[in-house]
Amino acid sequence: MQDKQIVDLYWARSEDAIRQTEIKYGKMLYSVSYSLTSSSRDSEECVNDTYLQAWKRMPTDRPDMLGAYLAKITRALSVDRVRRETAEKRGGAGAVTEELSELIPSDFSMDEHIDNEALKQALDGFIKSLDKQKRVVFVKRYFFCLDIETICAQTGLGKSAVKTMLMRMREKLGNKLREEGLL
Amino acid sequence: MTDKEKYAKKLMDTVGEIDDKYVYEAQNYTPKKRMPGYIKAIIAAAASVFLIVSVSFPVMVGVLLRKGNYSSNDVNVTPAYQMEQSMSKSDAETYKTLPKMTGAALIWRTAGGGYSCVPISEAKAESIIESIGEGGEKPVQDDGTRIWIRTDNGEFVSPHLKRSPGNVDCAVFEYSPETAISDEAARMIAKIINERN
């Protein structure tokens, strides 16, 4: 079924919307969650929570790209779950958060209020500035929290190429955030 | 929790809010298919062959030119330094007696084997050279006579072959007995020889 038809089902408050979502995106959402939680049970729960969230948000929202929309919900729920249960020491989310912290100086002081919207815009701008291959690698690592081997398999790149690419992108992102006064 | 950890968390959350199109793009990314190894090997081999041929062909032609095996307009090329070697002993002795050629000249070998050389003007040499190829091919009796025209620039041009880069400074072209020179060239050459005599 096409995304638009599934979204229409949500808007029509048809319970078939969730069944069709599960058929089309269930496996993908599970893998997104599993990359972050490393737990089958948690992943299944996060996926079910995703359906519930989607049911609540639509009809207000009308996403053009339903898969991406749902993946974002699953990711947020999975990250929350990992933080709650294990203080971020378990699963891909913890490792990725640690990796992102590498671009932050150790003496960083968050005295000032960080403007969330400005941070989001800076990040979107940074991602936009990357070429397609780098962008995909960045999103696969820091959004989907995939491990390096999986990224290599999905992009056809070598392990060292991906690692180097990620390291340079982190440096570039750090520079951009500093330039914009967000770091 | 340190400020660094807090900021890293915030960053992690913000990555989760990036534009849907980037998420979609990463989800649906298909890497470009890599060319199979054997195709790469074939292309590399073809490129190598092309490179070898493109480099070696001009070199080979140059070598052949110097060895006198190159055939252009069905003539053999004899390098100047081999000129004497290709002659009979008596011809070579006669050839050595020719005055040192420093300008345009008409050189000929008579049917009896004697060599002669007459200095001519550059303009005369040019006009003979211009007309020698115009006689076309017609059967002539080879009585052993050979004629060369040397230009001011050191070119040796045989009567049946128009000037070409191959004969500049490096070779004397052998006379082809099947090829006759034009009447005009024959008249000019005969005039020079008669005036000398």
pLDDT digits (tens, 9 = 90+) for B82-100: 555 555 666 666 666 665 5
Identity of the residue in A67, A96, A108 whose CB atom sits nearest the CB atom of B4: A108
- The DSSP string of B143-169 is -S-EEEEE-TTS-EE-TTS---GGGSS
Neighbours of B63 (CB within 10 A): 12
CB contact (8 A) between residue A68 and residue B8: no
Task: Check residue B102 and give its pLDDT.
Answer: 67
pLDDT band at B142 (very low <50, low <70, confident <90, very high): low
Instruction: Kindly report, as residue ranges, where domains of CATH 1.10.1740.10 are found in chain A.
Output: 3-87
Of B137, B167, B146, the residue nearest B155 (C-alpha):
B167
**Rounded to whole angstroms, how far apart are CA atoms A138 and A92?**
14
Region A26-54: what's the mean pLDDT?
89
Of B60, B63, B68, B64, the residue nearest B174 (C-alpha):
B68
CB contact (8 A) between residue A69 and residue B6: no
**Rounded to whole angstroms, how far apart are CA atoms A30 and A43?**
6
pLDDT band at B174 (very low <50, low <70, confident <90, very high): very low
Residues of A in contact with B4 (CB under 8 A): 101, 104-106, 108
Which residues are CB-contacts of B102 (< 8 A; sequence separation ≥ 6)? none
- The DSSP string of B70-123 is --BTTB-EEEGGGTTTTS-HHHHHHHHTSPPP-S-EEEEE-TTS-EEEEE--HH
DSSP category for residue B18: S
Inform me whether the C-beta atom of residue B35 falls under 8 Å from chain A C-beta atoms: no
Region A160-171: what's the mean pLDDT?
87
Inform me whether the C-beta atom of residue B20 falls under 8 Å from chain A C-beta atoms: yes
Burial of A28 (0-12, 13-18, 19+ CB in 10 A): middle
Chain B nearest CA to A122, separation (Å): 10
Chain B nearest CA to A108, separation (Å): 6
Identity of the residue in B16, B24, B25 whose CB atom sits nearest the CB atom of A79: B16
pLDDT band at A61 (very low <50, low <70, confident <90, very high): confident
Q: What's the whole-number average pLDDT of chain A? A: 85
Residues of B in contact with A72 (CB under 8 A): 16-17, 20, 23
Inform me whether the C-beta atom of residue B26 falls under 8 Å from chain A C-beta atoms: yes
**What are all long-range contacts of B161-165, with beta carbons under 8 Å and residues at least 24 apart?**
B161/B72, B161/B73, B161/B75, B161/B132, B161/B133, B162/B129, B162/B132, B162/B133, B163/B129, B164/B72
Contact A20, A68 (CB under 8 A): no
Residues of A in contact with B31 (CB under 8 A): 154-157
pLDDT band at A74 (very low <50, low <70, confident <90, very high): very high
Interface of A with B in 110-129 (CB under 8 A): 110, 114, 116, 119-120, 123-124, 127
Residues of B in contact with A140 (CB under 8 A): 26, 29
Contact B122, B103 (CB under 8 A): yes
Chain A nearest CA to B37, separation (Å): 15
Joined tokens for residue A33: 């969650």
DSSP category for residue B193: H
Identity of the residue in A68, A96, A114 whose CB atom sits nearest the CB atom of B23: A68
Region A113-120: what's the mean pLDDT?
80
Residues of B in contact with A88 (CB under 8 A): 9
Identity of the residue in A101, A123, A157 whose CB atom sits nearest the CB atom of B15: A123
Q: CA of B35: which chain A residue's CA is closest?
A: A156
Can you give the length of chain A in residues? 183
Q: What's the whole-number average pLDDT of chain B? A: 67
Chain A nearest CA to B42, separation (Å): 22
A3-87: CATH topology is Rna Polymerase Sigma Factor; Chain: A (1.10.1740)
Picking from A110-114, B4-8, B11-15, B177-181, which range would have the lowest pLDDT averaged per residue? B177-181
Q: CA of B5: which chain A residue's CA is closest?
A: A101
Q: CA of B11: which chain A residue's CA is closest?
A: A100
CB contact (8 A) between residue A135 and residue B13: no
Percent of chain B with pLDDT over 70: 50
Q: What CATH number does the domain located at A102-179 have?
A: 1.10.10.10
Region B45-54: what's the mean pLDDT?
86
Contact A36, A145 (CB under 8 A): yes
